[in-house]
Amino acid sequence: MSVGHALAVTTHGDSASPSGAPAVAARTGSTGAGEDRPAPTGDDTLPDALTSLRAAIGAARFPLALPSAELAARTVAALADQLDDYLLPRLARLDAPLLVVVGGSTGAGKSTLVNSLVQARVSPAGVLRPTTRSPVLVCNPADSAWFRRGELLPGLTRTNQPGDDPRTLHLVTAPALPPGLAFLDAPDIDSVVDANRALANQLLAAADLWLFVTTAARYADAVPWELLHGARARGAVLALVLNRVPAEATDEVAAHLAEMLAEQGLDAAPLFVLPETWVDGQGLLPGRSTAPLADWFARLAADAEARAAVVRQTLGGALALLPPTVESLALAVDEQVAAADALDDRVRAAYRAANRTVEQGLRDGRLLRGEVLARWQEFIGTSDLIRTLEARIGRLRDRVMAAFARRPAPAVELRDAIESQLVTLLRGVAAEAAEHAYTGWKAHPAGAALLEGDLAHHSADLPQRAERLVRDWQRSVLELVRVEGGDRRFVARTAAYAVNATGLALMIAVFASTAFIPTGLEVATGAGTTLAGQAVLQAIFGDQAVRTLARKAREDLLERVTVLLDDEATRYLIRTRQVRPVTRTATALRQAAERVEAARLRSGFADATPVLSAATTGVDAPMTDGERP
């Protein structure tokens, strides 16, 4: 009975060659096709362009927890592997032996098939699933030096012993295998063992040709189809083995699989249908069962042009996929930058609001209340201040003197009241800003992931820093009075007490500032202010020189507050800074991809068209029960 389709390789236009050899069209490079292409944007070679791309990819990070980040990180890892494992070494040695990676579900009979094809038990097959955990590479002794050198799949340590370590590659030679072709028996692609699965994917990306092995029982599984899609998308050369097909089901199963392949656009790949059979004492399949496959590979091995064409197609497909893949990475980097910006904006908005609240507090006179107001009134009730004021309020001073009992100057108390009023304000705005920044981040997926530590509140030492800030400011106000007010009429040049008193008055002026000066005292001082208090303030603020100093003192205070709040905001901003992509990461990726694309178009790999296609030929009928040993 003739069952299935098998090998056959056709060329473009040519029907299967008379000899039945895998008449694969060898592409002839770029000559002839170059005229129609856009002008190249650079003149570097593909290996150079790929090396730059490798560097750009190596620098890409996606630490912000965005929906795109996980896939991007996986793509980076896969691309980096593909460049290191396959593209760079393969481009450097286009004539190196063809690597056939044998991949598929566990128990599909991959190891058994490889052993049978090379006529030696090079890879243990077994009943324990999964059996193959560490890849085994088998080649003709003449090719072993190339694979041993470790340019291909450099991350796998070469060994001469079988083992279980997925980071090793067991190298075996088999004289029965012709030179020019090597088989790599891979762990299963849908393994329950994570490391197996990851390794299988990595190995497939390093294949010149993927021999996909499935069984009558497993061919409809989802995972292999995903991988097959990936292989098709990459334009990788693919051949399929439908293994262990029971005689009675052959037609049905082979037809169904062929239908599925056609639906997925994979019908160009050669499909070999192998009958269910017995393995011999060595664990090898009978020669007649594997003969079509063995012949096909033998002809491929013997045909250097065909092998070169396979390499060109797989390479060309992988290279063509690089620019769009790298663009997806650049977009993911853009998203990281945008998210970092958005998070920073939330923090900055929270602290800008805090700054504004302080500014407003200074403008609307709300600070000139309670304790500060009481202490101020007490203070101006003493002669210290009054004596320092200019003569034009001398008469007023007399009245004030009369109104207030003479007491020791409560300057210290006023200063303390100003300090505590300001510190309370600063603590309040810092607490509020922290809360806003915190909730702003919490609501953002990438922000929530960054919120470790106590970021819901102002920093623990903020009260102390705020106190220090106010005291420093007060000192600087006195300094201002000393330096700038030294030659003004309202300060007695040498009197320390006068400096002190004027300084305190200036601080009050800062508290009252704009609301006070243009609109009058009632706004700022509110009810309960004594006539004397108002009058003195008016006298003070009526003076242009004092107003100028008050403005300076106010600006000084606001600058200090900005520094304090900036420090608070830094607690958040430092986190985004740590994870923010380095400037130009996305640009570097895009430029590197452009260089690769330009070099690819010049190289001729862009012209690769499918070199292997299916044709229906006879294949051995499944063994009957009577033929089984």
Ligand X SMILES: Nc1nc2c(ncn2[C@@H]2O[C@H](COP(=O)(O)OP(=O)(O)OP(=O)(O)O)[C@@H](O)[C@H]2O)c(=O)[nH]1
- Are 557 and 362 spatial neighbours (Cβ–Cβ below 8 Å)? yes
Select 206 or 588, whichever has its Cβ closest to ligand X.
206
Q: Of the two residues 131 and 243, which places its CB atom closer to Mg ion in the complex?
A: 131
| DSSP symbols for 102-171 | EEESTTSSHHHHHHHHHTS--S---SSSS---S-EEEE-GGGHHHHHHT-SSTTSEEESS----TTEEEE
DSSP lists the bridge partners of residue 171 as 137
Q: In angstroms, what is the minimal distance from the CB of 612 to Mg ion? A: 24
* Smallest distance, ligand X to C-beta of residue 175, A: 22
Contact by Cβ (8 Å): 418, 511? yes
How many CA atoms does the CB half-sphere of 314 hold within 13 Å? 29
Per CB under 5 A, which region of 8-16, 130-138, 156-164, 584-592 contacts Mg ion? 130-138
In the complex, minimum distance from the CB of residue 4 to Mg ion, in angstroms, rounded to a whole number? 23
Q: In the complex with ligand X, which residue's Cβ is closer, 67 or 126?
A: 126
Q: Which does 198 bind (CB under 5 to 8 A by kind): Mg ion, ligand X, none?
A: none
For residue 225, the minimal CB distance to ligand X (Å) is: 17
* Complex with ligand X: residue 212 or 404, whichever CB lies closer: 212
If one counts every other C-beta atom within 10 angstroms of the C-beta of residue 109, the result is 22
Among 82, 105, 115, 132, indicate the residue that binds Mg ion (CB under 5 A): 132
When the beta carbons of 210 and 516 are compared against Mg ion, the nearer one is 210
Tokens of 324: 């769009």
CB of 455 to ligand X, least distance (A): 49
Length of the chain: 629
Q: How far apart are CA 270 and CA 23, in angstroms?
A: 13
HEC string of 273-337?
Answer: EEECCCCCCCCCCCHHHHHHHHHHHHHHHHCHHHHHHHHHHHHHHHHHHHHHHHHHHHHHHHHHH
Angular region, 294: left φ>0, alpha ψ -120 to 50, beta rest: alpha
Give the C-alpha separation, 585 to 592, whole Å: 11
Choose among ligand X, Mg ion, none what residue 129 binds, the Cβ cut-off being 5 to 8 Å by kind.
ligand X
Tokens of 316: 């060309």
From 116, 131, 421, 502, residue interacting with Mg ion (rule: CB under 5 A): 131
Tokens of 389: 């004021």
Q: Spell 343-354 as b/e; 16+ CB within 10 A means b.
A: bbebbeebbeeb
CB-nearer residue toward ligand X: 136 or 389: 136
Q: Name which of 129 and 167 has its Cβ closer to ligand X.
A: 129
Scan residues 2-31 and list those touching Mg ion (CB under 5 A): none
Tokens of 287: 């020669």
> Closest separation between CB of residue 283 and ligand X, Å?
5
One-letter amino acid at 602 equals R
Nearest distance in Å: CB 76, ligand X: 28
CB nearer to Mg ion: give 110 or 218.
110
Instruction: Of 553, 558, 556, give the one whose Cα is nearest residue 540.
Output: 553
Residue among 101 and 470 whose Cβ is closer to ligand X: 101
405 within 8 A of 532, measured Cβ to Cβ: no
Coil, helix or strand for 37? coil
Angle between helices 462-484 and 411-442 (to 10 degrees): 130
**Contact call for residues 524 and 374 (beta carbons, < 8 A):** no
| 283 contact, one of Mg ion, ligand X, none, CB 5-8 Å limit per kind | ligand X
Least distance to ligand X from the beta carbon of 333, Å? Answer: 37
Smallest gap from Cβ 9 to ligand X, in A, equals 25
Closest to ligand X by CB, 183 vs 511, is 183
Residue placing its CB nearer to Mg ion in the complex, 132 or 168: 132
For the CB of residue 603, give the shortest distance to ligand X in the complex, in Å.
36
Least distance in Å: CB of 147 to Mg ion?
Answer: 19
Helix (H, G, I), strand (E, B) or coil at 101: strand
DSSP bridge partners of 138: 172, 183
Q: Of 200, 139, 205, whose CA–CA distance to 171 is shortest?
A: 139
Q: Say if residues 235 and 320 touch (Cβ distance below 8 Å).
A: yes
The entry of ligand X, Mg ion, none that residue 127 binds, CB within 5 to 8 Å by partner kind: ligand X
For residues 308 to 327, the per-residue mask of contacts with Mg ion, x marking binding by CB under 5 A and - elsewhere, is --------------------
* Smallest distance from ligand X to CB 593, Å: 36
Work out whether 191 is an interface residue with Mg ion (CB under 5 A): no
H or E element in which residue 272 lies: strand 271-275
| Residue 279 binds: one of Mg ion, ligand X, none (C-beta under 5 to 8 A by kind) | ligand X
Q: Which among Mg ion, ligand X, none contacts residue 523 (Cβ within 5 to 8 A by kind)?
A: none
The position carrying tokens 């700038």 is: 484
Task: Using the minimum distance from each CB to Mg ion, give the nearer residue, 111 or 191.
Answer: 111
Which stretches of the chain bind ligand X, using CB under 6 A?
A: 106-112, 125-127, 129-132, 188, 244, 276-279, 283, 285
Q: Shortest gap between Cβ of 289 and Mg ion (angstroms)? A: 18
- Residue 108 binds: one of Mg ion, ligand X, none (C-beta under 5 to 8 A by kind): ligand X
Pick between residue 122 and residue 470 the one whose CB is nearest to Mg ion: 122
Give the C-alpha separation, 388 to 42, whole Å: 79
By the 8 A CB rule, do 110 and 185 touch? yes
Q: 197 or 552: whose CB is closer to ligand X?
A: 197
Region of 127-135, 285-293, 296-304, 541-549 interacting with Mg ion (CB under 5 A)? 127-135
Which of the listed partners (ligand X, Mg ion, none) does 106 bind, with a CB threshold of 5 to 8 Å by partner kind?
A: ligand X
Residue 101: CB minimum distance to ligand X, A: 13
Q: Which of the residues 87 through 126 are near Mg ion (CB under 5 A)?
A: 110-111
* Structure tokens, 506: 């200036």
On whether the CB atoms of residues 325 and 79 are closer than 8 A, the answer is: yes
Joined together, the tokens standing for residue 387 give 């004596």
Contacts with Mg ion, residue ranges (CB under 5 A): 110-111, 131-132
